[in-house]
Structure 1
């Protein structure tokens, strides 16, 4: 059962959000009218993808982006960066010995990453 104070607090929060949304909409409309938006280099173009976006499983892209915007980096991101670096090193490797070492290291890392991601999927926790 919802208490009256919960309902009142929710109404106040909703009103504050509407006010903020209206202020943002007004600011954007003013920038549009003044031509400020059209002057931006990215105007009318899709935003550039973040590094590692394609390598990140679809179900984790938004949660990871939210964490990144909050200044928090989950450990899996470091694993993705390390995997990308290993793939680049492997592509640039010149001798078979180095290539074999990098392939083993990449395989171990991908296995650890797959286990970690599967655990995250199973528990539903990022």
Structure 2
């Protein structure tokens, strides 16, 4: 019997949120505006990504690959759309905003999305 372990989605999401809070705290050393902007920028990526991950990895073992693929593509479109809406909404509705801090928070979440699974796979293989 094939034993495929599910990824630790909850731990990955929590680690990414911790990274965002750390980055926001570092900006707090400079200004509250920078900290708030970095937090909002990171949340614009983290919220849709987390919702997608929790929904997608909720079930294991798919029998219909076509349906799974279609659901994943729909989830990715939701994630992308929600990210754009949250980021644009933040830029339009939250004033004043520190643009470089906002995009640093956003970019940090993109990097953490790519790097945290790598970190977890290295820890699991030890």
Greater share of helix residues, 1 or 2?
Answer: 2
Question: TM-score with structure 2 length normalisation?
Answer: 0.33
Q: Max radius of gyration: which structure?
A: 1
Question: TM-score with structure 1 length normalisation?
Answer: 0.33
Task: Compare relative contact order (CA 8 Å, sep 6+) and give the higher one, 1 or 2.
Answer: 2
